[in-house]
Structure 1
């Protein structure tokens, strides 16, 4: 038997979508070697002008990992923009805990201080999404045809693709 679901508050889904727009703005430039070079230069110049240190000169491996990270985060952001779900907010918050951990580790081991604003925003988005995440009953659809997205009369698109309807 399915429990009735508590629909995600629209305000929470706006937070999930807003964090995705932030990610897209910050990481899209990392997604290709052609865009990474000017982003790297801009960040290094900004860090130098603020006295926060310059980034190491880019090499093939650094560029590859920046492009991999930029590509994955850009696609993840696009998913959260197009189809924000409470589960996406929770998973994004978990990813932000991991990202924040590795940024803090890098800062503790001599990374340029230009990383601090990014760490601050990662922690802020993570805490916000965790604090506002609807904790009860959001993963189970309401029983019946209205809960089944494949049912012609349903018209609903808020089911998680891994939830299977009880028939």
Structure 2
């Protein structure tokens, strides 16, 4: 069971994690660099699945996702609240569902560690919080 203070630290930490993980998605230029690096890593590891090229529409979707996740992350870092942690956990459950679906459809296995972290963050943020009044 989390203490209220511990839970707010967790919410901030999850925001920092998201900011670091998704910052490269925010612009087409940074995402191109990230995509090339992930493609190289995928090849070096000999992983199953594919890392497809990104056209303008896919790039826009990646940039939109990166932008909104970074804004959401900054909100949690600056204004951590239990309510925001619970909403973030719900978002992580959704992200994990779509990452699992992508893996089932042949996406690169590079998604697997991120999927595992999404599930761990979701579980941590859904864990009960002990009220300071108790």
- TM-score surpassing 0.5? yes
Inter-partner Cα distance in structure 2 for 1:96 and 1:135? 22
Q: Tell me the residue number matched to 1:128.
A: 124
Inter-partner Cα distance in structure 1 for 2:38 and 2:32? 10
Q: Specify which structure has the bigger relative contact order, considering alpha-carbon pairs within 8 angstroms and separated by 6 or more residues.
A: 2
Total equivalences in the alignment: 130
Q: Which runs of 5+ in 1 are unaligned?
A: 1-7, 139-167
Q: Tell me the residue number matched to 1:107.
A: 103
Inter-partner Cα distance in structure 2 for 1:110 and 1:88? 33
1:45 Cα deviation (Å)?
A: 1.1
Verify: 1:19 aligned to 2:14, yes or no.
yes
1:136 Cα deviation (Å)?
A: 6.6
- RMSD value, Cα: 1.8
Cα shift readout 1:76-100 (whole Å, capped 9, x = no counterpart): 0000000100001000000000000
Inter-partner Cα distance in structure 2 for 1:135 and 1:103? 32
Inter-partner Cα distance in structure 2 for 1:135 and 1:67? 38
Q: Tell me the residue number matched to 1:55.
A: 51
Runs of 4+, deviation exceeding 4 Å: 135-138
Inter-partner Cα distance in structure 1 for 2:43 and 2:17? 24
Q: Tell me the residue number matched to 2:26.
A: 31
Q: Tell me the residue number matched to 1:147.
A: none
Inter-partner Cα distance in structure 1 for 2:101 and 2:131? 34
Q: Tell me the residue number matched to 1:43.
A: 38
Q: Is the 8 A contact 2:92 2:122 kept in 1?
A: yes
1:9 Cα deviation (Å)?
A: 1.3
Inter-partner Cα distance in structure 2 for 1:126 and 1:41? 29
1:48 Cα deviation (Å)?
A: 1.3
Inter-partner Cα distance in structure 2 for 1:90 and 1:30? 24
2:94 to 98, 117, 125: 98
Q: TM-score, normalised by structure 2?
A: 0.91
